[in-house]
Amino acid sequence: MSEYLSVGEALDQAPISRFHTRSIFTAGMGFFTDAYDLFIIGTATTLIAKQWGLSTSQVGLINSITLISAFVGAIAFGRIADVLGRKRTYGLEAAIMVVGAIASAFAPSLIWLLIFRFILGLGVGGDYPMSAVLMGEYSNVKSRGKLVGLVFAMQALGTIAGYVVALALLAAKVNPDIAWRIMLGFGAVPAAGVIYLRRKMPESPRYLARVRGQVAAAADAIASFSEGVVRAGSAAEPVVRLSMRQFLSNKRYLVYLLGTAGSWFVFDYAYYGNSVSAPLIVSSVLGKSGSHVLTEAIALQLIVFTVAAVPGYYLAAAFMDRIGHKRLQLIGFIFMGLAFLLIGVIPNVTTMILPFLLLFGISYFFAEFGPNQTTFVLASEVYPTSVRSTGHGISAGIAKLGAFLGVYLFPIIKAHLGVAGALEFSFGMAVIGFFVTLVLPEPANKSLDVVSGEDDLVKSALAVSVNSKAAV
């Protein structure tokens, strides 16, 4: 194309290139690490609890402390990325994950393990807004959901890696004291592998043009990663910056925060509570105890996750832009919630292994083919460029607060209400998630400028500029 477009128009039309493939890998390996670190802890603490003689509440705290710090990390990194820029911030969160994982592996006591897992969580939380927003701002209109979704889908591979590492160590009968340390330390490997790549990623052209006013630099970036197919003009474009106060006092964006943060909060409560406690759930259904049962429970969980959840991740990425991002989230909440409800109301289903695993697998599929992926994508689309990372970070942070509550409270609720009662509670969360999602717009196949209302902000900025010149 020889026609020169605005930066936003050029990005909306730029075809997928090798740059986007590299970006998916570079961003996605962070989510591989996030998933590994967050879900391996449920297995590791079964070994740690025996070695250190921990109580149920202490185990719950270890399992969930990373999620509390992820709440802090997501909000902090989200805001920093909007103020200082995506490129200047990207990679720092991966370095924090490396430090936290290695330190956790050498923790000498409970208090030190909690401190190191807290540090790890800061990086995990920071990875959410950074990776989602950068990938979304690199993407074109037609493929944005797929590209951002593929970044998040690396979570599936990280979760599988956690199960495989745990099974390998348990099957090899590695000393439990050493086994859990290897489990936690291994999380440093994938994060370390992408620190350099992340630091070399280009700044978002949308951010350069709309927040920094560097339109020429943005145009050069687009030409390079679209391989010259699409070119943006270098004429000045309106700079639109919202302060934190303006953002949080805007009724439109407060409603969007209710939708993105609220739906993500209730989903993460159910999802992380069930997933981190999955070995406990499956062991309970098996009706056995002992180290060999832990291995059996992890193996069954790996099978369920691989068969049911993994296809959900990649089918969601493949069809999200056709179905609709918001619509897919609604579909996922409906069927995930129904699966939880059936587990709760069908008599004795939690004592029958195959029926239980079938329903548990259905809940997993629609979690992935729905809100687990779409909450991540939607939060990267509905806010203007100058506060996009901030909005995503707040949403992801509140979601991790929900995940913390789910991981910490699930064993307690299960102890009082049983597996069926705990999953009925998760059904209630899915119902809330469905209704909260309704307040959001449908972003699929629409420009970020339109979905986020940035077009309206630009028009206002132009009107102010014209009026100022007329006054002069």
Rounded CA-CA distance 300/278 in Å is: 10
pLDDT at 462 over 60: no
Q: What is the pLDDT of residue 284?
A: 59
- Please check whether residue 138 is in contact with residue 225, taking contact to mean a CB–CB distance below 8 angstroms: yes
pLDDT tens-digit readout, 357-385: 888 889 989 999 999 999 999 999 999 99
pLDDT (mean) for 448-456: 91
Q: Which of 70, 127, 97 is nearest to 401 (CA)?
A: 70
Within a domain: 471: no
pLDDT tens-digit readout, 254-300: 999 999 999 999 999 988 776 655 555 665 555 555 555 667 777 77
Within a domain: 168: yes
Q: What is the pLDDT of residue 353?
A: 77
Look up residue 120 and give its amino acid: L
What is the number of alpha carbons within 13 Å of residue 179 lying toward its C-beta?
23
Give the count of domains, the chain.
1
Within a domain: 65: yes
As a whole-number percent, the residues of the chain with pLDDT over 70 amount to: 90
Q: Which of 465, 144, 190, 64 is nearest to 317 (CA)?
A: 144
Q: What is the pLDDT of residue 102?
A: 96
pLDDT tens-digit readout, 232-266: 776 777 888 999 999 999 999 999 999 999 999 99
Backbone angles phi, psi at 231, to 5 degrees: -125, 135
pLDDT (mean) for 226-230: 70
Q: What is the pLDDT of residue 57?
A: 83
Kindly indicate the confidence band of residue 2, based on its pLDDT and cuts at 50, 70 and 90: very low
pLDDT at 1 over 70: no
Q: What is the pLDDT of residue 327?
A: 98
- Please check whether residue 122 is in contact with residue 89, taking contact to mean a CB–CB distance below 8 angstroms: no
pLDDT (mean) for 456-470: 61
pLDDT tens-digit readout, 157-187: 998 998 899 889 988 989 989 999 999 999 9
Range of the domain at 234: 4-466
pLDDT tens-digit readout, 27-82: 999 889 988 988 788 889 989 999 999 988 898 889 889 989 999 999 999 999 99
74, containing H or E segment: helix 56-84
As a whole-number percent, the residues of the chain with pLDDT over 90 amount to: 56
CB count, 10 Å around CB of 85?
17
232, containing H or E segment: strand 231-232
pLDDT tens-digit readout, 411-424: 777 777 777 777 78
Kindly indicate the confidence band of residue 108, based on its pLDDT and cuts at 50, 70 and 90: very high
Task: Give the list of residues 6+ apart from residue 144 with CB closer than 8 angstroms, or none.
Answer: 136, 321, 377, 381, 443, 448
What is the domain-level CATH number for residue 253?
A: 1.20.1250.20
DSSP single-letter state for residue 452: T
- Please check whether residue 400 is in contact with residue 64, taking contact to mean a CB–CB distance below 8 angstroms: no
Look up residue 315 and give its amino acid: L
DSSP single-letter state for residue 4: E
pLDDT at 409 over 70: yes
pLDDT at 466 over 50: no
- Please check whether residue 333 is in contact with residue 437, taking contact to mean a CB–CB distance below 8 angstroms: yes
Instruction: Kindly give the residue spans of alpha helices, DSSP state H, lying in 277-324.
Output: 278-286, 291-304, 310-323
Q: What is the pLDDT of residue 461?
A: 63
Rounded CA-CA distance 194/354 in Å is: 40
Q: What is the pLDDT of residue 274?
A: 67
Q: Which of 12, 325, 3, 315 is nearest to 142 (CA)?
A: 12
- Please check whether residue 317 is in contact with residue 403, taking contact to mean a CB–CB distance below 8 angstroms: no
Token code pair at residue 304: 């369920």
pTM value?
0.90
Within a domain: 472: no
Kindly indicate the confidence band of residue 125, based on its pLDDT and cuts at 50, 70 and 90: very high
pLDDT (mean) for 425-438: 94
Rounded CA-CA distance 74/430 in Å is: 23
CB count, 10 Å around CB of 80?
21
Look up residue 459 and give its amino acid: K
Bridge partners, 231 (sequence order): 4
Query: What is the 3-state composition of the chain as percent helix, strand, coil, each rounded to the nearest 5?
Result: 80, 0, 20
The distance from CA 4 to its chain's CA centroid, rounded to whole angstroms, is 35
DSSP single-letter state for residue 446: S
Average pLDDT value for the chain? 87
Q: Is 5 helix (H, G, I), strand (E, B) or coil?
A: strand
CB count, 10 Å around CB of 459?
11
